[in-house]
Amino acid sequence: MLKVLPISSLLALLFASNCLVVTQAQTQARENRDLAAKQLEQVQIEAQSIGSFFSELAISSDIPIGLEIAAKAGHLAAYGTDFKKGTLSELLNEFVIQHNQYAWEIRDGVVNVFPKDDYRDALFRDLLETRIGRFTVKENTSCWTLAETLVSTPEMKKVLEASGTTYRAPDFSGFYIPQAGRYFKLDVSNVTLRSILNRVVEQSPTAKFWVITRNYDGSLNISFGSRHEDSPRGMYKPKILK
């Protein structure tokens, strides 16, 4: 026989649930503030693309970063910094002053760098906000496989087909194929693509950077920057699929 809880018990459960949500939100807000206040010293980067710039910053400083490339952005340009000392937020503010088509925020414990509205690629906006019903990552998954599995979900394929855009895996050369981590796993439901990408780089011990961009032919490209799992943190130059 089904037992009906008294109103007082239902109210207590509802109150406990609301308290948990508030506590989680407060914890996330504190973690976001802590990341923004992270102290950095002697950050010297010279890169030929904005993706390489933030990939190196993410992996060399162990900072999870996601990047949405601006529409019609050039693939090759000079991006650099010689940041002596200060907080992560100060470094990011310097960057967006120099490159004013971009803005930044910290979401879910991850730095998200993105174009201002006038510079956004409409497809990227739609894809990043697309909700995916179920997505899983198994142990020993490469970053390449992870990206291809993401764009193969029915929800992503629907948006790409509607826009007439194809996905082309990034070119890769080298002996080390970037990995998400030997023991890294993920199992999420009803979350946006942006949330999945952020969770990967926030939780993975190796993949600390994601980027969504277009290839030279206009096809979609999602890739990750990852350090070798056995390399000491802060001592590894990132390898990003391009």
Q: Is residue 178 within 8 Å of residue 142, measured between CB atoms?
A: yes
Is the Cα dihedral 218, 222, 223, 224 positive or negative? Answer: positive
Q: CA-CA distance, 120 to 124, in Å (whole number)?
A: 8
- The mean predicted confidence, pLDDT, of the chain is 87
* Mean local confidence (pLDDT), 195-214: 96
What token pair was written down for 203? 């939780």
Which residue did the predictor score with more confidence, 13 or 152? 152
When pLDDT is averaged across residues 27-43 and rounded to a whole number, the result is 86
Is residue 87 within 8 Å of 38, Cβ to Cβ?
yes
pLDDT tens digits, 43-95: 999 998 999 999 999 999 999 999 999 997 766 678 999 999 999 999 999 99
Strand pairing class (110-115; 65-68): parallel
Q: How confident is the model over 158-187, as pLDDT tens digits? A: 999 999 999 998 766 556 678 999 999 999
User: Tell me, what's the pLDDT at 172?
Assistant: 61
Q: Can you give the pLDDT at residue 233?
A: 56
Confidence at residue 97, expressed as pLDDT on a 0 to 100 scale: 96
Using 50, 70 and 90 to split pLDDT, how confident is the model at 32? confident
Q: Are 151 and 135 in contact (CB under 8 A)?
A: no
Per-residue 3-state assignment (H helix, E strand, C coil) for 27-56: HHHHHHHHHHCCEEEEEEEEECCHHHHHHH
Span 127-134, mean pLDDT?
A: 97
pLDDT of residue 72: 77
Handedness of CA 35, 36, 41, 42 (dihedral sign): positive
And the tokens for 230? Answer: 């056995």
Q: How far is CA 191 from the centre of its chain?
A: 14
Q: How confident is the model at residue 238 (pLDDT cuts 50, 70, 90)?
A: very low
The per-residue pLDDT for 26 is 63
pLDDT at 181: 93
198 alpha carbon, distance to own chain's centre: 4
**Residue 189 exposure: Cα atoms within 13 Å on the Cβ side:** 0
**Percentage of residues in the chain with pLDDT exceeding 90?**
71
pLDDT of residue 237: 46
**Strand pairing category for 110-115 and 131-137:** unpaired
Using the predicted structure, report yes or no on whether residue 126 has a pLDDT greater than 90. yes
| Per-residue pLDDT, 231 | 65
The confidence band for 152, taking pLDDT boundaries of 50, 70 and 90, is: very high
Q: If DSSP codes are grouped into helix, strand and coil, which group holds residue 58? A: helix
Cα 125-202-54 angle, rounded to 5 deg? 65
Cα–Cα dist 216/232, whole Å: 34
Dist CA 222 CA 232 (whole Å) = 26
pTM, full prediction? 0.83
